[in-house]
């Protein structure tokens, strides 16, 4: 395992080292990783800036080919990538193989997005030389890459939201060079993927500076990266504290920049009376399946459930508690995450009644799932109860009636998702709740569970603060590319000086809005 | 003149009053205006919040009709609106009549934008129930209004960027209620327009809470408005200090919100050698026309000009100085703006050589245009020289060669516009400068002048910080509506619960991207 990090194609060794840790065994993994310093951040950012103008003007076809090459090079690593990721994260093989497929699928989706061309946002208003009282100029708008982007690897998706994950794929698709701050929980996985990206760059003949990766424990490195003047946007998936810190740093720069931080969500699930009457037990079992998947380490984990108190809700809780009692303890990603989970469970214990617990841990860093209930008044009085506990912990809120559910929902912070379970007679109460949920969440589900975020054109993995730091954006799905683009208008430029995207004759074959009508 | 402000259709009187001022005469204008307090901000925001859910779900057709009704009611005020605006701003009749046409034109453009329907951003991914290993859900994305919007009236566009200006038109088009903080420099104009909006609301049977206006001198009122939890976005056009203050307040909220502030730009103009050789004198004259228009009180005023030193640039400066000597002093908008202009001219005088001045003032608050030159080294050494001076002041920078122009351009802050004047042989240097200009500006012009911002689909009136606080946006043109929308995804909702925009059968007839293909 080569533990050197990569700056613009160059492997870098330093005197300081750190090791990966196997959370399943609680021991360090053999092999050392070189720690990057602020000077390396400087070099990576300077290389990204130097490569920016050339890279952003590569053809959409060239960038699509490149993204597909990255996907192929990741696949070509083969078994060592899955094994290393298993060691570093404690996640099972099937999950990591699925995540690898999601990662390469994302890269290939953005190749399609580039070829389809809507991303370029071409809008042309023809000149009106005879208009009175003044002629209208020739106006052409396209979107260009914002500049070098800092991407932070996420602990809970060592592939799909890390080095070549969604943020990197979208930034590169947009034409932005990327400097990754690797998550220290999976350094080997990160460097294997970084190597694949670098090989794809070389194979495609692109400037090496479009990708660098820095690594190390602690927060200084990430802070230096966000502060760097060459960096023009940030992608982050992680904790609320981490996200808020990066937003503060980005805002304090002489030139503030956008941070796309996906931070915190409890993903309320509302069990409407008809649904509970029809299938309380089945809902309880399915809920536990969603809650405990991946040890609950998903930003869309269902951490808050609402129902009207009564026998049907009792049946749901009983079924969920029974299913939970069979839930195997699963390795959590890091010791720190496990400790934070246990602390979160303690906080919930202090304010709500424990009604179910998963099987006892059979080793270190195992998360023992936990289910609590309380009433709606308690939640209104103690908002601490509805803060995210990262892991398989959830709170069932018993309300007096649907109005009280609506009242509590109105007090919630922004969420990534909100879910309605519907049965007979539930359409009317659902219709009353929807406007509240639309204000609160980026995605609204019916009769499903929020875990599982499809990579698709229509997906929104986003939502009002503090679910994300920018509710106008999504970090999953094809619209994610818009985070790293900005519009530029060209007025009366001679055709020979215009970029290909907006030249006469449409040499790139992009879809265009010409005088208000879509053409190609 | 009714000096009471308007909250949700109700005229409000208070004990504190202020008066408008006629800057041409430096005297107060007859009639008193009631000063709003923080309690009125509360009431206006509560009314906006209460009206939000109903308003955002009105049909696009209903909102289009409403915007057109606002335009008609503004026109129906007739002569009193123009006369009041002339009194309060010192701007001439023709300009204000043109601005009124721009204002009503904007409102009608957004009616068209609503009817065309692309604003709704409908994207549908069909379910794939048989997909392996997991089926794909039914995913439908639309964009919804972000919530009540705070709009700050601008001093320099009492109609087009004020009470019913671009920010208000786009927010209302998006389905956002609006609370306006009127600019105290034109209180009567503001209330006349506010009355027109309120009459249009009543005529269209919309909730009165979708529009309120508060007014008064000082900054507290605006700060309270941006702090209010019901407000979800802010539109502002004005000074850099004002914009930065609002951004800081918005970021310090428990739930930070986006501020779309259009703040500061010197709009560099580059005179390439071929252009100067061909038409130095004509360029000099045309430049002064753009510089002195409206007493230079435009955010796109050409405050910085670059040329390679030599006889051709000398001819340009001589022609500009000669034209400037004939420039009539024009009334500036307020005494404060005139004082700041004079201070800015002093700052430039301290660091650059005065080479031209307009005619001497013949009354109070008249701006006396000023032209300076310096060399490129001085600009690099003293960045103060390239800060915006609001008014008809500009600096011609003499560079040793084109490389030095490129070097200085790279040091500039973000700009609304950048302009190239081209002649024979200039294509190559222009091609070298374009990547620099694309990084710096939202709009790039050739052979024109940046004043005059067309309201069109392809327009970008925006740009990197500090030209604006959000370079992904424009405040002029149809894309401005995107500032006040956010995407929401609906997963597996029964058709009967879906909003019309994304229901089966497309009842609103909106353009849709279905499985990656555009349909209607």
Which pLDDT belongs to residue A217?
94
For residue A216, the distance in angstroms to the closest alpha carbon of chain B comes to: 30
For residue A182, the distance in angstroms to the closest alpha carbon of chain B comes to: 27
Given a contact cutoff of 8 angstroms between Cβ atoms, the answer to whether A230 and A45 are in contact is yes
The DSSP output letter for B360 is P
Q: Read off the pLDDT band of B481 (50, 70, 90).
A: very high
Q: Residues B109-124: what's their mean pLDDT?
A: 97
Q: Residues B440-447: what's their mean pLDDT?
A: 98
Phi, psi dihedral angles at A85 (to 5 degrees): -65, -40
Which pLDDT belongs to residue A331?
97
Looking at every residue in chain A, the average pLDDT score rounds to 97
Residues of A in contact with B112 (CB under 8 A): 516
Which DSSP string corresponds to B408-462? HHHHS--EEEEEEE--TT-HHHHHHHHHHHHHHEEEEEESS-S-----SSS----
Shortest CA distance from B479: residue in chain A: A487
Tokens for B20? 């408008």
Instruction: Give yes or no: A364 in active site.
Output: no
Residues of B in contact with A439 (CB under 8 A): 53, 147
The answer, as to whether pTM is greater than 0.90, is yes
Checking ipTM against 0.90, whether it exceeds it is: yes
Interface probe, candidates B115, B491, B518, chain A, greatest A C-beta count within 10 A? B491
Asked whether residue B228 carries a pLDDT value surpassing 90, the answer given is: yes
Q: Read off the pLDDT band of A133 (50, 70, 90).
A: confident
The answer to whether the Cβ–Cβ distance between B460 and A487 falls below 8 Å is yes
Interface probe, candidates A270, A459, A489, A493, chain B, greatest B C-beta count within 10 A? A489
Instruction: Spot the catalytic one: B21, B45, B176, B299.
Output: B299
The answer to whether the Cβ–Cβ distance between B491 and A141 falls below 8 Å is no
- Looking only at the bridges linking them, the beta strands covering B5-7 and B10-12 are antiparallel
Interface probe, candidates A248, A406, A456, chain B, greatest B C-beta count within 10 A? A456
Q: What is the pLDDT of residues A397-452, one digit of tens each?
A: 999 999 999 999 999 999 999 999 999 999 999 999 999 999 999 999 999 999 99
Q: What is the pLDDT of residues B27-66, one digit of tens each?
A: 999 999 999 999 999 999 999 999 999 999 999 999 999 9
Consecutive H or E run containing B82: helix B79-89
Rounded to a whole number of angstroms, the CA Rg of chain A reads 24
Q: What is the pLDDT of residues B489-515, one digit of tens each?
A: 999 999 999 999 999 999 999 999 999
The answer to whether the Cβ–Cβ distance between B445 and A144 falls below 8 Å is no
Closest partner CB to A435 (pick from B53, B469, B485): B53
The answer to whether the Cβ–Cβ distance between A454 and B139 falls below 8 Å is yes
For residue B161, the distance in angstroms to the closest alpha carbon of chain A comes to: 20
CA nearest to A158, candidates A45, A275, A297, A319: A297
Residues of A in contact with B434 (CB under 8 A): 497
For residue B57, the distance in angstroms to the closest alpha carbon of chain A comes to: 9
Q: Residues for chain B: how many in total?
A: 520
The answer to whether the Cβ–Cβ distance between A141 and B479 falls below 8 Å is yes
The answer to whether the Cβ–Cβ distance between A53 and B471 falls below 8 Å is no
Residues of A in contact with B460 (CB under 8 A): 141, 487-489
Interface probe, candidates A139, A274, A387, A458, chain B, greatest B C-beta count within 10 A? A458
Angstrom distance (rounded) from CA B303 to CA B397: 11
Q: What is the pLDDT of residues B391-420, one digit of tens each?
A: 999 999 999 999 999 999 999 999 999 999
Angstrom distance (rounded) from CA A327 to CA B395: 73
Closest partner CB to B458 (pick from A53, A140, A452): A140
Consecutive H or E run containing A178: strand A178-181
Closest partner CB to B497 (pick from A136, A255, A431): A431
Which pLDDT belongs to residue B133?
87
Closest partner CB to B487 (pick from A147, A460, A511): A460
For residue A206, the distance in angstroms to the closest alpha carbon of chain B comes to: 18
Looking at every residue in chain B, the average pLDDT score rounds to 97
For residue B447, the distance in angstroms to the closest alpha carbon of chain A comes to: 7
Which pLDDT belongs to residue B520?
81
**Does the bond joining A466 to the residue before it have cis omega, within 30 degrees of 0?**
yes
The answer to whether the Cβ–Cβ distance between A487 and B479 falls below 8 Å is yes
Instruction: Spot the catalytic one: A262, A424, A428, A489.
Output: A262
The answer to whether the Cβ–Cβ distance between B139 and A442 falls below 8 Å is no
Instruction: Spot the catalytic one: A21, A176, A299, A388.
Output: A299
Instruction: Give yes or no: A326 in active site.
Output: no
Given a contact cutoff of 8 angstroms between Cβ atoms, the answer to whether A141 and B463 are in contact is no
The answer to whether the Cβ–Cβ distance between B452 and A134 falls below 8 Å is yes
Query: Tokens 């109460």 appear where?
Result: A429
Closest partner CB to A442 (pick from B422, B456, B488): B488
Asked whether residue A136 carries a pLDDT value surpassing 90, the answer given is: yes
Tokens for B380? 């690099």
Expressed in angstroms, the distance from the first to the final Cα of chain A is: 49
CA nearest to B183, candidates B128, B238, B140: B238
Shortest CA distance from B232: residue in chain A: A464
Q: Residues B263-269: what's their mean pLDDT?
A: 96
Tokens for A476? 């999953």
Asked whether residue A520 carries a pLDDT value surpassing 90, the answer given is: no
Share of chain A above pLDDT 90, in %: 98
Interface probe, candidates A491, A503, A514, A517, chain B, greatest B C-beta count within 10 A? A491
Q: What is the pLDDT of residues B322-336, one digit of tens each?
A: 999 999 999 999 999
- Looking only at the bridges linking them, the beta strands covering B330-331 and B353-357 are unpaired
Closest partner CB to B448 (pick from A133, A137, A466): A137
CB pairs under 8 A between A and B: 204
Alpha helices, H only, B205-310: 220-227, 240-252, 273-292
Which DSSP string corresponds to B296-345? G--TT---EEEEESSHHHHHHHHHHHHHHHTPPPEE-S-HHHHHHHHHHH
Q: Read off the pLDDT band of B223 (50, 70, 90).
A: very high
Closest partner CB to A488 (pick from B444, B447, B492): B444
Q: Residues B187-216: what's their mean pLDDT?
A: 98
For residue B51, the distance in angstroms to the closest alpha carbon of chain A comes to: 12
Residues of B in contact with A443 (CB under 8 A): 488-491
Angstrom distance (rounded) from CA B390 to CA A422: 59
Q: What is the pLDDT of residues A310-328, one digit of tens each?
A: 999 999 999 999 999 999 9
Which pLDDT belongs to residue B336?
96
Residues of A in contact with B486 (CB under 8 A): 442, 462, 464, 471-472
Asked whether residue A474 carries a pLDDT value surpassing 90, the answer given is: yes
Alpha carbon B209 to chain centroid, angstroms: 24
**Does the bond joining A133 to the residue before it have cis omega, within 30 degrees of 0?**
yes
Angstrom distance (rounded) from CA B7 to CA B14: 13
Given a contact cutoff of 8 angstroms between Cβ atoms, the answer to whether A301 and A336 are in contact is no
Shortest CA distance from A436: residue in chain B: B53
Asked whether residue A209 carries a pLDDT value surpassing 90, the answer given is: yes
Q: Residues B130-140: what's their mean pLDDT?
A: 95
Residues of B in contact with A124 (CB under 8 A): 458
Q: What is the pLDDT of residues B269-294, one digit of tens each?
A: 999 999 999 999 999 999 999 999 99
Closest partner CB to A456 (pick from B139, B413, B448): B139
For residue B448, the distance in angstroms to the closest alpha carbon of chain A comes to: 8
Share of chain B above pLDDT 70, in %: 100
Contacts from B135-138 at CB under 8 Å and sequence distance 24+? B136/A454, B136/A456, B137/A445, B137/A448, B137/A454, B137/B491, B137/B492, B138/B491, B138/B492, B138/B493
Angstrom distance (rounded) from CA B402 to CA A243: 43
The DSSP output letter for A135 is P
For residue A14, the distance in angstroms to the closest alpha carbon of chain B comes to: 33
Given a contact cutoff of 8 angstroms between Cβ atoms, the answer to whether B330 and B305 are in contact is no
CA nearest to A106, candidates A164, A192, A175: A164
């Amino acid at each position: 395992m080569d533990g050197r990090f990569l700056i613009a194609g160059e492997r870098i060794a330093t005197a300081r080292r750190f090791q990966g840790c196997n959370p399943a065994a609680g021991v360090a993994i053999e092999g050392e990783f070189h720690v990057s310093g602020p000077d390396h951040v400087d070099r990576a950012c300077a290389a990204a800036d130097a490569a920016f103008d050339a890279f952003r003007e590569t053809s959409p076809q060239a960038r699509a080919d490149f993204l597909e090459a990255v996907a192929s090079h990741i696949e070509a690593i083969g078994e060592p990538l899955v094994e290393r990721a298993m060691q570093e994260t404690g996640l099972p093989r099937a999950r990591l193989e699925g995540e690898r497929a999601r990662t390469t699928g994302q890269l290939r989706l953005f190749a399609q997005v580039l070829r389809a061309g809507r991303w370029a946002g071409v809008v042309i208003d023809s000149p009106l030389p005879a208009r009175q009282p003044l002629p209208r100029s020739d106006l052409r708008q396209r979107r260009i890459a914002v500049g070098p982007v800092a991407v932070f690897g996420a602990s809970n998706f060592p592939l799909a939201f890390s080095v070549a994950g969604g943020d990197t794929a979208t930034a590169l698709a947009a034409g932005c060079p990327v400097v990754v701050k690797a998550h220290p929980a999976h350094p080997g996985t990160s460097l294997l993927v970084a190597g694949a990206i670098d090989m794809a760059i070389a194979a495609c003949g692109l400037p090496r500076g479009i990708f660098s990766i820095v690594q190390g424990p602690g927060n200084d490195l990430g802070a230096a990266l966000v502060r760097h003047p060459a960096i023009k946007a940030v992608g982050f998936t992680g904790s609320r504290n981490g996200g808020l810190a990066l937003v503060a740093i980005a805002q304090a720069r002489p030139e503030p920049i956008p941070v796309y931080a996906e931070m915190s969500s409890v993903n309320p699930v509302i069990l409407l009376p008809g649904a509970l009457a029809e299938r309380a037990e089945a809902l309880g079992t399915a809920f536990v399946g969603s809650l405990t998947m991946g040890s609950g380490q998903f930003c869309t984990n269902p951490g808050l459930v609402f129902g009207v108190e009564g026998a049907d809700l009792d049946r749901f809780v009983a079924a969920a508690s029974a299913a939970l009692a069979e839930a195997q303890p699963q390795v959590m990603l890091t010791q720190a995450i496990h400790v934070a989970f246990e602390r979160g469970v303690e906080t919930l214990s202090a304010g709500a009644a424990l009604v179910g617990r998963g099987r006892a841990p059979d080793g270190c860093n195992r998360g023992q799932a936990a289910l609590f209930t309380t009433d709606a008044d308690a939640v209104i009085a103690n908002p601490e109860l509805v803060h995210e506990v990262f892991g398989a912990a959830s709170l069932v809120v018993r309300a007096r009636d649907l109005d009280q559910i609506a009242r509590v929902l109105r007090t919630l912070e922004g969420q990534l998702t909100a879910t309605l379970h519907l049965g007979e007679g539930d359409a009317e109460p659902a219709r009353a709740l929807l406007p509240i949920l639309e204000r609160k969440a980026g995605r609204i589900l019916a009769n499903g569970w929020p875990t599982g975020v499809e990579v698709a054109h229509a997906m929104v993995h986003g939502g009002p603060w503090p679910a994300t730091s920018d509710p106008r954006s999504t970090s999953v799905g094809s619209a994610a590319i818009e985070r790293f683009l900005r519009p530029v208008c060209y007025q009366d430029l001679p055709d020979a000086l215009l970029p290909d995207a907006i030249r006469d004759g449409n040499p790139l074959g992009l879809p265009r809005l010409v005088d208000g009508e879509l053409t190609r």
